[in-house]
Structure 1
């Protein structure tokens, strides 16, 4: 049956609607003029100004600290959660609870964490944001690793146990290598989510520190400039790289599983 070319119109229209603003943002980041709406010529000066902006540099360092710390927490806890749900629990209720942070609005999580930190008298700072982002990203890591677990060969684990290996040794030598592509993909996803996350960081970081998304928010209140476009373009590049790397690792893992 011959497909009508009209069926591709909404397909491409959707892609244009999604990505045309991103293309415009990247193009305007190379604008030689100060206007964010009128292109006056090609220039890299706004990227150079970013390198000399202390506020942006401090925000970037804080963002990388939060993203790295929360990624470690989310990867470890998310992997253990996925293994526990897949191997030691068959409760749909626990599955729903484990994945709930991934579907709850960021604002609800942020307010809940802020109230909890106040209840336990925890001073807000980078560490409180690291914990918050780790909790938020843990569900995404668990979902990715659980998908990988569904394709894992359980007979290898059974053979390991039959040969006298304990649960911990079996997990380290058999289960963990099989899950490695999924774990890496989940870690990259957690890093990307933390890198771009604004709402939870805004509520849990306090008044003494700022992450890069908060810095961008404070800058954009006075209007969009090519400097902000350049900063957003860099974040887009990092995010796209992490997502593509995560997808690549997932495909490699699936190909090895089929072999």
Structure 2
């Protein structure tokens, strides 16, 4: 009996947590198909807000800016973070630990402090706030995450394989790409995805460094919420959620399918 009660409590707690996490998202998706603009009254099923979404130049421009900044910042941060991880891996232990500690500070620091600091730095160097300042800011806070994703993989690599490639006549670059890089690819990819997600989700740092005339989805939604959010934003959020869910399903089930074919 005690086992049944414990099992019931555990299942109830799990269901409660899932409802707490996903009921607001489900509500938003339902509202994206609501004919009425009211959030409390159902006015009938419609695809009107999805049509208005794709015809709204302001939202689509913000969506384009968000994806472009996220992709470019993640790509550049991945290159810089991977190079920094390789350099740190070659350092002596004391210096490496010191640099890793310094690398962790931006991640532990409050976003508002980072955002204000970057804004003041851009103003001090007479940068005009805009797309390029947002991109630089996103690269800046993404590099530490990439470094921490790649560094553990570098510690797992076999130094002997690199030295053997050098002994067989390979150049340092060839030896790296043939012996080291294949082993750290999972860390590089996870660093890229983490950087892309962090950039896609950022609001505070973007808000302080974007200047006038440019918006991302987060800053656009913030400005619209103060005036009253339009239902087409529900439609956009529903599309983003569906795209992320699809990517997760593909990422989780594709390896299983490959393994079952090989078996």
**Both proteins in one fold, TM over 0.5:** yes
Q: Which residue of 2 aligns with 1:58?
A: 61
Q: Which sections of structure 2, spanning at least 5 residues, go unmatched?
A: none
Q: Which sections of structure 1, spanning at least 5 residues, go unmatched?
A: none
- Is 1:215 the counterpart of 2:224? The answer is no
CA-to-aligned-CA distance 1:60-93 (integer Å, 9 cap, x gap): 2222221122112111111112222233342322
RMSD (CA atoms):
2.8
TM-score w.r.t. length of structure 2: 0.84
1:70 and 1:247, CA in 2 relative to 1: closer, same or farther beyond 3 A? farther
1:49 and 1:188, CA in 2 relative to 1: closer, same or farther beyond 3 A? same
Q: 1:127 aligns with which of 120, 127, 132?
A: 132
Q: 1:167 aligns with which of 166, 172, 181?
A: 172
Q: Which residue of 2 aligns with 1:157?
A: 162
Q: Could you tell me how far apart the structure 2 residues matched to 1:202 and 1:82 are?
A: 30
State the aligned residue count: 252
Instruction: Check conservation: 1:75, 1:138, Cα contact below 8 A.
Output: yes
Q: Could you tell me how far apart the structure 2 residues matched to 1:245 and 1:66 are?
A: 24
Mean CA deviation greater in 121-130 or 32-41? 32-41
Q: Could you tell me how far apart the structure 2 residues matched to 1:151 and 1:48 are?
A: 50
Instruction: Check conservation: 2:52, 2:232, Cα contact below 8 A.
Output: yes
Q: Could you tell me how far apart the structure 2 residues matched to 1:167 and 1:66 are?
A: 33
1:242 and 1:114, CA in 2 relative to 1: closer, same or farther beyond 3 A? farther
Q: Which residue of 2 aligns with 1:15?
A: 18
1:241 and 1:110, CA in 2 relative to 1: closer, same or farther beyond 3 A? farther
SS at match of 1:221: helix
Instruction: Check conservation: 2:221, 2:229, Cα contact below 8 A.
Output: no
Instruction: Check conservation: 1:79, 1:145, Cα contact below 8 A.
Output: yes
1:110 and 1:243, CA in 2 relative to 1: closer, same or farther beyond 3 A? farther
Instruction: Check conservation: 2:81, 2:147, Cα contact below 8 A.
Output: yes
TM-score w.r.t. length of structure 1: 0.85
Give how far 1:19 is off: 2.1
Give how far 1:126 is off: 0.4
Mean CA deviation greater in 199-208 or 188-197? 188-197
After the TM superposition, which residues 110-125 of structure 1 pair with which residues of structure 2 at under 5 Å, given as runs? 110-125=115-130
1:51 and 1:89, CA in 2 relative to 1: closer, same or farther beyond 3 A? farther
Q: Could you tell me how far apart the structure 1 residues matched to 2:252 and 2:120 are?
A: 36
1:12 and 1:156, CA in 2 relative to 1: closer, same or farther beyond 3 A? farther
CA-to-aligned-CA distance 1:154-197 (integer Å, 9 cap, x gap): 43223223334343332222222222232222212212221221
Instruction: Check conservation: 1:185, 1:247, Cα contact below 8 A.
Output: no
Instruction: Check conservation: 1:186, 1:246, Cα contact below 8 A.
Output: no
- Larger Rg computed on CA atoms: 2
Q: Could you tell me how far apart the structure 2 residues matched to 1:8 and 1:41 are?
A: 35
Instruction: Check conservation: 2:138, 2:199, Cα contact below 8 A.
Output: yes
SS at match of 2:24: helix
Q: Could you tell me how far apart the structure 2 residues matched to 1:58 and 1:148 are?
A: 38
1:68 and 1:23, CA in 2 relative to 1: closer, same or farther beyond 3 A? same
